[in-house]
Amino acid sequence: RIDLDTGDRLELGVATGVAFSQSRTRVLVSRSYPASYDLLEADDTITEVPFGQAYFVGDDLYFIDDTTQTLRRSRAGGGWSPSRS
């Protein structure tokens, strides 16, 4: 990733998948070896996420938490929370 204003670079490595939120302010990057998933935010925060499958609905990221086998949600600008029906 290159900051067009400053020219600074952030090397993210080789990605096998990239998914954007509706507003394109959040990006989910997946890698196959070693298997990892990172959520990149507009404020340059990078969070490693514990799942194997996830989808954006609008700007919220929904995923199955592998450790608890529950549906979780990551809200834009917020933290992780259990999903509510």
What are the tokens at 67? 């450790």
Tell me the whole-structure pTM to 2 decimals.
0.75
- Band the pLDDT of 85: cuts 50, 70, 90: very low
pLDDT tens figures, 26-57 = 999 988 777 788 898 888 888 888 776 788 99
> Beta strand pairing status for 80-82 and 17-20?
unpaired
Q: Residues 65-72: what's their mean pLDDT?
A: 81
Q: What is the DSSP letter of 7?
A: -
Model confidence pLDDT, tens digit, residues 8-17? 877 777 888 8
